[in-house]
Structure 1
């Protein structure tokens, strides 16, 4: 007999009949004082696991009836009270077994369905990540080509250009650079999720990294008419904030947070970078005077692709803050956001302090 036939419903029914016949023969060949009705449990469990609920209910009733009927069949005689109580206990055990088996079957079915859903979601997530990774990788080549072509046109390699055309080419190049940065950011995020973030750790001074990031974003701030300022704690005097980190990755965090604040600050406002040295942590805060963040959205700002309901969150891609969280957590640090009084937002992170 092969496995398929063995586990088929007809085979299960014959096995249950055999178990009941075996239990019944032992039950009726022994005096009523010997209660062996527990042997019916095997048939009940098999019925519950492989057959329908109605059949389980029927088998349980039959087992209970046979257990009690042995008090008078095959030989009628007066039974002691202890014998009757023992058989009543067996009947209760059979009913409880039937109920528990039915619940276990229900739970197993629910677990199986949940596992199928999780497997389907994992497959979908894997396909989506592969698709995005491939798509972003293929987008880099035409973007790089377009940027180099625009640079050549700005250098008048294809003929003389007017000042108006120069302005247009500069705008187009900046737009392509922004798109390229977004594509590279997506690639980095998926690479970090899949393989983890590899850091080149060394002692670094956060003030120097902050100044480099501000210098890089100077033109963007000027175009938005936003003033950038660097401040050291409450004293205002320059301090050295040493931490163990990857300078390139932390510069990306500074750039992401400062860029985010520039984009969400009104014209003529200031974006302030505050550096605070503490005994156990170095703290970096980026303050803006924008619209702020709804309190219920603050815990979700650093989730991947998160888009809030307010105008501030709706304008971003949801990638820069998520990548910043990846980098800071890889440095054993913490990143967070809070609202600024009376208006604006504060994006901050902290890293463990080391000796210079």
Structure 2
């Protein structure tokens, strides 16, 4: 009865497997002890042991292995007390070693399977947690847009004097609040776009686009930001200063966001009075846009992680951002079949660049 309790204590207990193991053990036992000692049937204990390793507890498998070894060795003397020779002992020892090795390997296989199951369970839990976190963040950011838009419209009304005359000393405060709310709204919209792109992919309205014209338009909109930080922005067109065309097929609005992200980063991370250079390099296979700043540069071990979602590096440069703009830029460029990367400049600072396939037949300008 105690042996039965030993087996049924396992959580993986299967009643049919237990009785199958007992039946097989009994058959091997009969074969062992009903035949002369010269015949070794101990190897057949391996079958019940392997079955037990899948259905019974670890302790039960060890017990079965020990019983099989003992019965195999006792059959040298029992039941007929035959004359023992070296060959008989050697055969029994080899059979016993085979049984022990089977028990050890089955136990190792059990441990490996349990480890795999545990890791799978952890991965499933992590994936479920990640989905819940993303759903929560997506819902939260979506709900934040309405009050932010309302606050921005209210501030506009204050600036226009809709609620009474605004004194000159109050205007800078209102302007600062407006900038803060717009920055927050931009972060919320970027976060929403990131989750939407991950779940649904980016929907592109692809048309022939001149990256030069697009870059010039973005630069114009960011002149005020650059001026506030006393940053000089310059454009060059490959090996010369003559204006050229960089035709690609893409979504103008999405590509505009990428250029704006890279240029804004360069402005924020350049020292006051510095310079940001935009290099537009035409090519027969790829059209390349490089944004070169005069900031602190990027640590070499962090370059490969810059375009990961929410990545925050150890340097001052990385900790200033949210980790979303570069990830969104990567999503957009990869959706266009292009490549985006970062590197340190030869004279200091950092270079953030992307390239897109050249449009085979450029439109006539």
TM-score by length of 1: 0.91
Say yes or no: does 1:75 pair with 2:80: yes
Deviation at 1:83, TM superposition (A): 5.9
Say yes or no: does 1:153 pair with 2:158: yes
Note if contact 1:28-1:73 (Cα within 8 Å) is conserved in structure 2.
Answer: yes
Of residues 71-80 and 35-44 in structure 1, the stretch that sits farther from structure 2 once superposed is 71-80
Separation of aligned partners in 1, 2:26 and 2:144: 73
Of residues 170-179 and 25-34 in structure 1, the stretch that sits farther from structure 2 once superposed is 25-34
Note if contact 1:293-1:312 (Cα within 8 Å) is conserved in structure 2.
Answer: yes
CA 1:23–1:146 in 2, change beyond 3 Å: closer, same or farther?
same
SS of 2:314's partner is coil
Which residue of the other structure, out of 187, 197, 218, is the alignment partner of 1:182?
187
> Which residue does 2:6 correspond to in 1?
none
SS of 1:351's partner is strand
Of residues 77-86 and 244-253 in structure 1, the stretch that sits farther from structure 2 once superposed is 77-86
> Which residue does 2:244 correspond to in 1?
239
> Which residue does 2:107 correspond to in 1?
102
Of residues 233-242 and 320-329 in structure 1, the stretch that sits farther from structure 2 once superposed is 233-242
> RMSD value over aligned CA atoms?
2.4
Q: What does 1:91-170 align with in structure 2 at a 5 Å threshold?
A: 91-170=96-175
Deviation at 1:274, TM superposition (A): 0.4
Separation of aligned partners in 2, 1:120 and 1:53: 27
Which residue of the other structure, out of 340, 346, 360, is the alignment partner of 1:341?
346
Say yes or no: does 1:216 pair with 2:216: no
Note if contact 1:272-1:287 (Cα within 8 Å) is conserved in structure 2.
Answer: yes
SS of 2:203's partner is coil
Deviation at 1:35, TM superposition (A): 3.4
Which residue of the other structure, out of 205, 220, 228, is the alignment partner of 2:233?
228
Note if contact 1:281-1:350 (Cα within 8 Å) is conserved in structure 2.
Answer: yes
Of residues 69-78 and 97-106 in structure 1, the stretch that sits farther from structure 2 once superposed is 69-78
Note if contact 2:342-2:353 (Cα within 8 Å) is conserved in structure 1.
Answer: yes
Note if contact 1:37-1:67 (Cα within 8 Å) is conserved in structure 2.
Answer: yes
> Which residue does 1:206 correspond to in 2?
211
Say yes or no: does 1:308 pair with 2:313: yes
Separation of aligned partners in 2, 1:352 and 1:239: 17
> Which residue does 1:28 correspond to in 2?
33
Separation of aligned partners in 2, 1:7 and 1:338: 55
Separation of aligned partners in 1, 2:288 and 2:50: 62
Which residue of the other structure, out of 266, 275, 280, is the alignment partner of 2:285?
280
After superposition, what is the alpha-carbon deviation per residue over 1:22-51, rounded to whole angstroms, capped at 9, x for unaligned? Answer: 211122233445433232123222443344
Deviation at 1:54, TM superposition (A): 4.1
SS of 1:163's partner is coil
Which residue of the other structure, out of 331, 336, 357, is the alignment partner of 1:352?
357
Of residues 44-53 and 142-151 in structure 1, the stretch that sits farther from structure 2 once superposed is 44-53
SS of 2:276's partner is strand
Note if contact 1:6-1:12 (Cα within 8 Å) is conserved in structure 2.
Answer: no
Of residues 282-291 and 27-36 in structure 1, the stretch that sits farther from structure 2 once superposed is 27-36
Note if contact 2:13-2:56 (Cα within 8 Å) is conserved in structure 1.
Answer: no
TM-score by length of 2: 0.89
SS of 2:123's partner is helix
After superposition, what is the alpha-carbon deviation per residue over 1:103-136, rounded to whole angstroms, capped at 9, x for unaligned? Answer: 0111111112112211221121111111111111
Say yes or no: does 1:43 pair with 2:40: no
Of residues 304-313 and 68-77 in structure 1, the stretch that sits farther from structure 2 once superposed is 68-77
> Which residue does 1:320 correspond to in 2?
325
Separation of aligned partners in 1, 2:83 and 2:248: 89
CA 1:57–1:146 in 2, change beyond 3 Å: closer, same or farther?
same
Separation of aligned partners in 2, 1:318 and 1:102: 46
Structure 2, gaps ≥5 residues long: 1-8
Deviation at 1:87, TM superposition (A): 4.2
Of residues 213-222 and 74-83 in structure 1, the stretch that sits farther from structure 2 once superposed is 74-83
> Which residue does 2:5 correspond to in 1?
none
Separation of aligned partners in 2, 1:114 and 1:145: 47
Separation of aligned partners in 2, 1:144 and 1:7: 58
Separation of aligned partners in 1, 2:170 and 2:72: 98
Structure 1, gaps ≥5 residues long: none
